[in-house]
Amino acid sequence: MRRGRVTIAEVAERAGVSLTTVSHVLSARRPVAPGTRQRVLEIIDELGYEPDSAAAGLAGARSTTIALDAFGGTSWALSQLVEPESYFYIGLLRAIEAHATAAGYDLLMPSRPQDDAGGYLRRLRSRRAAGVVVMARNFDDPRTRALLEAQFPTVFVDMFGRGPKATSVTSDNADGARQATEHLLALGHRRIARISKAADPMAGQGRNTGARAALSAAGVLEDPRLVLEAEWTPDAAYQATVRLLRSGAPFTAVLAGSDVMAINVIAALADHGLRVPEDVSVVGFDDLQLGTMVRPTLTTVRQDTDAMGAAVIEALRRILDGEPAPEPILVPTALVVRGSTAAPRP
């Protein structure tokens, strides 16, 4: 059984490279061939090597690497991006990458979701991650708690997290849903159905809160039969729409939890002989490009991914510079009116 701290010399010997090469991989100050770099990182992980942060500080080597960790459970982040319910995050990742690059940071994406909390932190440190951007993960994930307890510089995106060295960046979901509901109310709709994952502690609950506030302000009583719980997936939205139709509860508009869900709401309505917006108006959330490619084009709530990406990197930069973690940041949303909404039929 190994005793004592793993040394950089042991890493170099096992990887079959020089001490200088390992040092360049750790500091990221000089280029290393991709294959060699990957081999060194694998050996670092295998041996559980952790750089001596004190020595690195004396050498003046400040890391410019930011770890980007998306989704939770056992999902592999990159492969999950191909799922329709994750399309919004493609644009958000693009914005984070652009602003990180402009600020002089390199992005690292850990891809071992099965790691326990201790192994997760060890790998971040072994790769000299200066901070972490965590996106769309459950707050009760052990790795999330580990980051907060270790006071590892972290910015949480599309989820809540707060600590001495942690803050969060989210869209103003409540205000976006309020705007969408007020738009439908202004058109004359009073029987407005909602299909979303209301149990989601950030987006779902926030959007429900905003929609209810708009209804209350207009003096419209909410019919519980028109509030349907569904996962963020297209099929779940389709099936929820079918349940709504079979319930017999009258409605003239649907506020969907996302653009992808809204597109399948429209599909389910069409399959049951209903036209959009002539018979039913539909509003999405996100403002994906997909919304301009369907007919009718989709009225939606825009999430400003570029502003979110800029806020994420600026917040993390401030934490890394030793400033107090900023207060949680709410990025404004905006209603985009297109062809899927109209006044209800008399």
Q: What is the pLDDT of residues 240-255, one digit of tens each?
A: 999 999 999 999 999 9
- Structure tokens, 70: 């998306």
DSSP string, 13-56: HHHTS-HHHHHHHHH-SS---HHHHHHHHHHHHHHT----HHHH
Q: Provide Rg for the chain, Cα atoms.
A: 24
Percent of the chain with pLDDT over 70: 90
Rounded Cα gap, residues 70 and 75, in angstroms:
9
CA neighbor of 279 nearest in space, from 250, 253, 257: 253
Q: pLDDT tens, 312-332?
A: 999 999 999 999 999 999 999
Q: Which residue has the tokens 């030793």?
A: 322
Q: Which residues contact 201 (CB under 8 A, 6 or more apart)?
A: 139, 159, 160
Model pTM?
0.79
DSSP state of 70: E
Whether 343 and 277 have beta carbons less than 8 Å apart is answered as no
CA neighbor of 320 nearest in space, from 12, 94, 62: 62
> Which pLDDT score, from 0 to 100, does residue 2 have?
45
> Which pLDDT score, from 0 to 100, does residue 161 have?
85
> Which pLDDT score, from 0 to 100, does residue 59 have?
46
Whether 281 and 253 have beta carbons less than 8 Å apart is answered as yes
Whether 81 and 90 have beta carbons less than 8 Å apart is answered as yes
Residues of the chain with pLDDT under 70: 1-5, 27-30, 50-61, 71-79, 110-115
CA neighbor of 49 nearest in space, from 1, 115, 5: 5
What is the CB neighbour count within 10 angstroms for residue 160? 12
Angle of CA points 220, 222, 227, to nearest 5°? 145
- Host H or E run for residue 92: helix 87-102
Beta strands in 37-191 (DSSP E): 65-70, 106-108, 129-135, 154-157, 166-171
> Which pLDDT score, from 0 to 100, does residue 44 have?
82
Q: pLDDT tens, 62-98?
A: 788 899 887 655 555 666 777 887 889 889 999 999 9
> Which pLDDT score, from 0 to 100, does residue 346 have?
83
Pairing state between β 300-303 and 333-336? antiparallel
CA neighbor of 206 nearest in space, from 233, 230, 235, 170: 170
Q: Which residues contact 19 (CB under 8 A, 6 or more apart)?
A: 8, 9, 12
- Beta bridge pairs of residue 131: 66
